[in-house]
Amino acid sequence: MKNHYNHLSSLPFLKSAFKNESSVNDTNRILLWLKEQNNKVQVKINKTAFSKLEHWSTATDKITHNSGKFFSIEGIGIKTNWGGKKEWHQPIINQPEVGYLGFIAKEFDGVLHFLMQAKIEPGNVNFVQLSPTLQATRSNYTQVHKGKKPLYLEYFQNAKPQQILLDQLQSEQGARFLKKRNRNIIIKVDEDIPVYDNFVWTTLGQIKRLMHFDNIVNMDARTVISGIPFGEYEPDIISFFSFLGYKDDADHVKKAFLKSALIKNGGIHNVENIISFMTHLKSIYDLNIEKIPLKDLKEWVFTDKMIHHEENKYFRVIAVDVEIGNREVVKWNQPMIEPAQEGLCAFVCKEINGIMHFAVQAKLECGNHDIIEFAPTVQCLTGNYRQTKEGALPFLDYVLNARPEQIFYDVLQSEEGGRFYREQNRNLIVIAGDEIPDELTGKYIWMTLNQLYIFLKFNNYLNIQARSLIAGISFI
């Protein structure tokens, strides 16, 4: 009965994932509509000085909003027995509130659609990106900013249990946020609801298709989409899906990803082995965090214009003035994090025993809620991967030297534009052959896509970079 319910609850998602066009909105039309949304909204983003920030205080040991809400920029000292660097100082975003990242879903012509918002964030490289229906911190939706209440908030606040299709707490960037989590939620409505000017209905297949364009689907949408379950099926049922959905052998990799997503058994490690692998690492590695005044951070320089590392690497804390025409508040200023360089996040995948596996890295980041999370095979965000010494980082050289026919996914994706200033990272999925061994060592383990979906159901297992890549996997 449990498996039967699993099939019933996940089948609408799977059906929507196989629809890369919609009877409601054409994908090319959505791209054109996004450009129109961008053109008609006035956006002004200018860097400023910390001393000119209104409603923010830099007089204390940290940068805080005068309301005591939203977020603060604080200094921390880290001590760990993980990796080559055992101690360091850095600024970090402290935003203890749990916000909403939510989609409203509704069926049109028997296919589940998701209501997406064309949302402008001050840090977006291209201003307008597709976001969830609701994307709001607690300070936003309780109107601490004295602006308008976010659209559609009441649908989530009043949702009945039977309407909730997905409900998870998921982490944000562990190197930039201190133990930050958001509620990732999808609710279904049956009634007609108003669709405002900057909202659009899309299928799941369309969203995944749009993720193959640079900086179109924002980070908050990607994290929610990544957690969508597709169920578990017997091999003969998966073969039937493949028979219906694929026309020729050119679709082999997509077919392999579908099989990896839907098959429960067949991974070279079972779920208990993977939990033991992670538990062992958490039991032998320590992460100790101490609050330190920003101006006392070692190797960091605090000026009125920015906080930066003395070698100008990692990232900078800056201040910006923002004016955006269609937000709940149209004018404000705030601190933001600006990267020192573009990053790289990549999964290396390989078919083992006929099932596609992902080389998953266990990674400690200073802001992690529970020390270690599963990360992509390669994750280079704080350092410059182009200057990394050859052989110094496992799999990096392999990914950078991948042949075109090995690359399944290669796109620039933005990080969260409300806190990060014009940060985009190259996202890659590379298909490996026998040159990568079936046995991984150290902090790496092979997992199927179905196993990754299992761990996505629980808090603090998969980091946001891994989730972003998983969201982009298309079956068609």
Q: pLDDT at position 1, please?
A: 31
- Give the integer Cα–Cα distance in Å for 129 and 198: 11
Per-residue pLDDT of the chain (476 residues; tens, 9 = 90+): 333 334 458 999 999 999 999 999 999 999 999 999 888 888 889 999 999 999 999 877 999 999 888 899 999 999 999 988 999 999 999 998 888 999 999 999 999 999 999 998 999 998 899 999 999 877 665 655 556 789 999 999 999 999 999 999 999 999 999 999 999 999 999 999 999 999 999 999 999 999 999 999 999 999 999 999 899 988 888 877 766 666 665 588 999 999 999 998 889 999 999 999 999 999 999 999 999 999 999 999 999 999 999 999 899 999 999 988 765 667 899 999 999 988 999 999 999 999 999 999 999 999 999 999 999 999 998 777 777 777 779 999 999 999 999 999 999 999 999 999 999 999 999 999 999 999 999 999 999 999 999 999 998 899 999 999 999 999 98
Q: pLDDT at position 2, please?
A: 37
Amino acid, res. 62: K
- Give the integer Cα–Cα distance in Å for 170 and 429: 22
- Which CATH number does 2-42+96-226 carry? 3.90.79.40
- Give the integer Cα–Cα distance in Å for 104 and 156: 8
Reported pTM: 0.94
The CB density around residue 88, as the number of other CB atoms within 10 Å, is 16
- Give the integer Cα–Cα distance in Å for 370 and 358: 22
Q: Please identify which residue in the block is written with the tokens 């940290």.
A: 62
Q: pLDDT at position 246, please?
A: 66
Q: pLDDT at position 138, please?
A: 74
Q: Which of 141, 123, 182, 120 is nearest to 315 (CA)?
A: 123
Q: Which two tokens stand for residue 266?
A: 């067949």
From the DSSP assignment, how many helices (H) and strands (E) are in the chain?
Answer: 12, 24
Q: pLDDT at position 331, please?
A: 85
Domain boundaries, the chain: 2-42+96-226
Strand partners, 217: 130
Strand 181-188 vs strand 87-94: parallel, antiparallel, or unpaired? unpaired
Q: pLDDT at position 237, please?
A: 82
The CB density around residue 106, as the number of other CB atoms within 10 Å, is 18
DSSP state of 179: S
Q: pLDDT at position 238, please?
A: 80
State the alpha helices, DSSP H only, in 121-218: 138-141, 153-157, 204-210
- Give the integer Cα–Cα distance in Å for 204 and 176: 29
Helices 252-262 and 449-456, axial angle in degrees (round to 10): 50
